[in-house]
Structure 1
């Protein structure tokens, strides 16, 4: 079964909009785990607009031995203020997986992946550093990308497909062309020895169709839609609904 990793960034956004400690990101993590999710995802950024380094540490303490911990981020973003950098955070908390994403402060959300062909030498020492910590390394990529064998050779174990274009096409009523591109990309990555994750704008409406098109899909990381849907149906119920789709 495809693992569901719940991204808790939006819980932190809501908390930060008011200040204080509510809603509790720790309670949200407990709730998702109790509902059956297989992982928790966070994406700390240097500007700390949502999940903070303190959140990363708190969640690490409550996840030990329970579910997987996936930390996303830009490995090339320098330390700033209370943000120590992605590698240092990983060194502190030793997540199950790090997902390398080429985002910057100017982006509202992640909107593209690495080009494994062009970026392979830049990524090589970064991947090695995370592997030395015992982290599984996944790299955020676009559909249609290449360089999967080269990525596997430097220690990358997974790629995460940026599914924003698929979600947009699905909402517009015809995602067949995008699905074909994602299926082809996933197959080529798997043939190179990489497992395939996916994430960005996946929802209850579009997840089943996507999963059916990607045999062997290892993991989906879902936050924005899941937290939005949970406002109406409750967090536990919404997590279980996603698990039903994935099963």
Structure 2
């Protein structure tokens, strides 16, 4: 791929044509929030948290699935980009339970970290939050399905890394649910790694449930 020059937040940057924008921003140390994106997994672009302002584009573009082109000018911190990111964060928190104090992911949760920068201290949503029944998907993984933000990292990990397509999404919109296809649950030997790729507390360790916080552990 040929070297090209783009501009991000007013700074000229050399990159390879066709690279995804989020790859360039990560390499340059430019912070762009994300949930569904993981550098070891395929691109899903379904959380929309990484929206940025690309000059000439009719609306904000997801950095994870936007290939760069020569002369492109991108803004990750301007008013348009920030407003888009905060709007996505507000939608994600509409149905997410406020149970951080009892969540095993608390303190090392990507949703917590991003919400501190892009969330609001007041919700405009007054209706009841959705409640999703938990699924028993195996001996290693404890589920709290109501916390799921539908990033599909666990689904892609199973299909692309573990090599077994055992999970998927059923339903649409607010009724969507991530669950195993079979009642026997997850059979893959790598299933425990799904806990690590989950950006929220939807998948946690069943044997270690409520034992310790991450900062209480010694290396």
Instruction: Output the TM-score relative to the length of structure 1.
Output: 0.26
Structure with the larger RCO, 1 or 2 (CA within 8 Å, 6+ apart): 1
Higher alpha-carbon Rg:
2
Higher helix share: 1
